[in-house]
Structure 1
Amino acid sequence: MKRRTESACPVRSVLNSVGSKWSILIIDILGNTESMRFNEINKTLGDISQKMLTSTLRSLEADGILSRKMYNEIPPRVEYALTQLGQELLPHIRNLIGWSQQNLESIKKNRLLFEQNH
């Protein structure tokens, strides 16, 4: 059963998942490698909680953006990789990251002006 927001606005449904800061960063990180383990992703991000990382990875897996492969080893090894859908999304994510980097100083100045005027 679809939630009301999904049927009313499919774009919102997709952006709620892939548009979060952690999703964007995870997609970008996985775009640099064939696959990564949970702890490698966690170390690369640095300041994400394990709970948030787990939640974000599950959400991206549910959407088909990334795959999760579990190896029958001791200790168990799990690797995450972008799917074809995730690979198709990657250039758009990288464009957004590039735009953010190019415009960061302007955005900071605008925020400061806004705070001073309100």
Structure 2
Amino acid sequence: MRKDKNEAYCAVDFAFQRIGGKYRGRILWYLNEYSVLRYGELKRLLQGITTKMLTQTLRELEQDGMVNRKVYLEVPPKVEYSLTPASVELIPLINELRKWADRRIIERPKSGEKISC
């Protein structure tokens, strides 16, 4: 039994705590695609995400060692996000999940909407 809600049961649980959720995997994917993104750029790419949720998710990814946050001391403040070496290791695995999903999306009933990441 877990003592702490953030303590993993096993390696699979640990991994999904780092990349699970609605936006974490997509944020990592977009940071891989664009190398470096600013907050506003991420917000535009992640359709439907609220400001609060994006801020919270980026903080969690940073705390988990998955995202670098670089602050430039200028006015207005400039903050850039990029992948850490640990998250770069995940990109091939996320890509495999994307390929799997691409095959499964074809099988589901058509809703008329195009899905792309």
TM-score by length of 1: 0.81
Distance 1:5 1:101, change over 3 A: same
Query: Which of structures 1 and 2 has the bigger CA Rg?
Result: 1
Give the ranges of 4+ consecutive aligned residues of structure 1 lying more than 4 Å apart after TM superposition: none
TM-score by length of 2: 0.82
Q: Which runs of 5+ in 2 are unaligned?
A: 110-117
Identity %: 37
Match of 2:56 in 1: 55
C-alpha RMSD of matched pairs (Å): 1.8
Tell me if the contact between 1:5 and 1:12 (Cα under 8 Å) persists in the aligned partners.
no
Report the structure, 1 or 2, having the larger helix content.
1
Output the amino acid matched with 2:78: R
Q: Which runs of 5+ in 1 are unaligned?
A: 110-118
Match of 2:34 in 1: 33
Output the amino acid matched with 2:14: S
Q: CA deviation at 1:6?
A: 1.7
Determine the C-alpha separation between the residues in 2 that align with 1:5 and 1:81: 24
| 1:39-77, Cα deviation, whole Å (9 max, x unpaired) | 000001121111111111111111111100000000000
